[in-house]
Structure 1
Amino acid sequence: MYLSRLTLADFRNYEQLEVSLGPGLFLFHGENAQGKTNLLEAVSMLATGTSFHASSDREVVSWSAPAHVAHLDGMLQRQEGQAQLEITLLDPSPALIPATVGSSSSARSIELPAHAPRKRYKVNGAPKRTVDFIGQMKVVMFAPTDLHLVDGAPEERRKFLDRALCQVRPLYSVALIKYRKLVTQRSALLKRVRENQEDPQMLNYLDEQLVQLANQIIYERVRMVKALNEQANQFQQAISGGREELRIIYHPSFQVDVDWNPLEAPGHYMEQLHAVRKKEIYQGVCLRGPHRDDLEFRVNGVNMLSYGSRGQQRTAALAAKLSELAFMHNTTGDQPILLLDDVFSELDAQRREYLLCQIASYQQVLLTATELEGFPDELARRFRRYRVSNGTLTVSEEY
């Protein structure tokens, strides 16, 4: 699986861009804040439908876009044939652009019909729903923040699972979107019950929906963690010279028994919800569910979050990301496109060399760097290099 062409219009700082790609290693280099990460963000959006570092989709639409619209277009080559992927994003009320001398700035906004979509998808020119678009292309993104997968916030570890599962299990994406909306609704209802504005029995309907959706999410997360553990320890041992063994442990906020079948599990989750209802009403928040799940990384039996050294934590994070690649490849039969956003500057020589050896055989790898040093000569000769400067790409022969 690989992109043969990427076209952007008014996306971030790319007013117009068309670049030919293909199988192999592509290095995009240049100074900070020139558009390197934006390029990888666009590729990632064509796979997942969302930005990996924007709080809102509207942020990716260029402030100067005259039509308030950003457009992404990628030509994908895969085993089942070629596919053209398109996303159109609309920002109806972009932020003010600071006024220049002798001019005035005013808010630019447009009126949209009620419920008009701000984001539209097409595959081979045909409009698609979100669920039918996500996963057409698979990517694995590796950014410096992923090196804090082990010692960071639980939310980041949940995102680690969700990004992969949404691409390989379309129904998981549907369940996750519904679940997040339901948690918001249920939390609001809990607060109203606490203020004696609603009858507690009103929670029963939402509880029934919550446990059904939670069951789907937990089931897929359990399966993915099991698959990760089939690979992660091999990577950990290889990077550590055989000194370390890694195990990834899934900690759902619901008590889960592996002997429960998918049909009976919701009943057990409902019992647990009822047991904490008074506490939930008192606090006004949902205390059980996949939105509170976590992962634990144990090296040689030791919890890396509490007791791991920085080196061990980074090795475990690297092993987890490489396991994610293997999981997606084994699940779909296609190698995902690998996106590496300036991670090599954050790794020591040993881990950098190991990662480079692992990615060298992948069908398509897009990576960014501020410096060209640090790459082995043999591998560097295989790079197709582009210099990125203020939203423009130029072929680079320097090394």
Structure 2
Amino acid sequence: MDLEIVTIGDELLLGFTIDTNAAHLARELAALGVRIVRRATCGDDAESIKAAVQEALERTGAVITTGGLGPTADDMTKPAIASIFGTGMVMDHDILTALRDRWRARFNHELPLSNEQQAMVPEHCTILPNRHGSAPGIWLEDARQRWVAMLPGVPREMRGMLADTIIPRLRDRLPSSGRVIRSRTLRTANIAESALADRLGDLARGVNGLSLAYLPGSDGVDLRLTSWDRDAHEAEQVLAEAATQLRARVGPFVYGEGDDDLAAIMLAECAARNATIAVAESCTGGLLGMRLTAIPGSSRTVLGGTIAYANEVKIRELGVPAEVIAEHGAVSHEVARAMATGARLRFGSTIGLGITGIAGPDGGTPEKPVGTVWVGVDIDGDVHAVRAVLPGDRHEIRWRAAQLALDRLRKAFARDTESAAWTARG
């Protein structure tokens, strides 16, 4: 089945809201074997909605929309799409009663008049129950079996309704061949996209008929393999074989798969080793500590940290010798090592991580340009440091510096101190 997605909302076009709905729909439907052939976004005016959905219907005959089902004047999705099917709008009194009961129960007052609009639905439509919010979904279908499913734009509601109503409906409509679209993602850190392609060589464009996409981000470059039009068992088998081949080429840089978070991985590794962590951060300003403590159960491993932005704090709180800073500068191999050791000793942990760098946009020099970061790792007194010149703006540099620290800890555990990619050992 081919399908198109239309997400609706001025806030999406203006960039104030990130369109996570389309991405979630694409992932979930692909796993079902539905091919998303096009995604479009339009504003809240009726003509734009009608044009986008009508064009999509003509191409595929199957469309899912999100957004524009609320109670305000800019919620135009239902009447705009109803006009495509040549049908008018009617009041659904069952929905109206449910809305009134919901407002009395939740807010202890009567339903506002504006909210009654949510009970207006296209004639001859199928109501899609919404257990996660107030706006019901709508299914409209014509005699040619062309259909549009309208879902709310609120991500939590949309995801719940997709699982509750849309996926079961589509599963019943799909042919019994059992063909699916499946992906598998390898997550890498501290290696550039071009360097990955060089290492992959003849696998860089795909593996055994599987497509291969490079997805660079602040965490690193994800390698996504995709299998098209195979049954589920065969797809999983060929994806596993292809992932093994990729790991054979770039293994030292792979830290996980899917949605794996390197902070969570390292906390699990530390817990398995009965290790504890303390951090000392300069340019990242607590970002590394935030990433670690965002993981449930991190209190068993993370003892504490110091934001040592000023040199005086590095000296007073972490014991970094003043003469070392004077001789080598705050952003240096020596200071990163001293910060890592200072964190370990101050908090009594088995591991100390230290980060110092220049996040920009100012402060760089020809010798130490913006993006220069040193990371120190101290494991029970065994200390090393690495340098990287990280790309991006201030936010990206800081995030990548925290990721670099986590990755250096991973490699220290693996006794891998050589695979520095675009980092340079100190």
Which bracket does the TM-score occupy, shorter chain normalised? under 0.3
Taking structure 1 as the reference length, the TM-score comes to 0.24
Please identify the structure whose Cα radius of gyration is greater. Answer: 2
- What TM-score does the superposition give when structure 2 sets the normalisation length? 0.23
Structure of higher RCO (CA pairs closer than 8 Å, 6+ residues apart) = 1
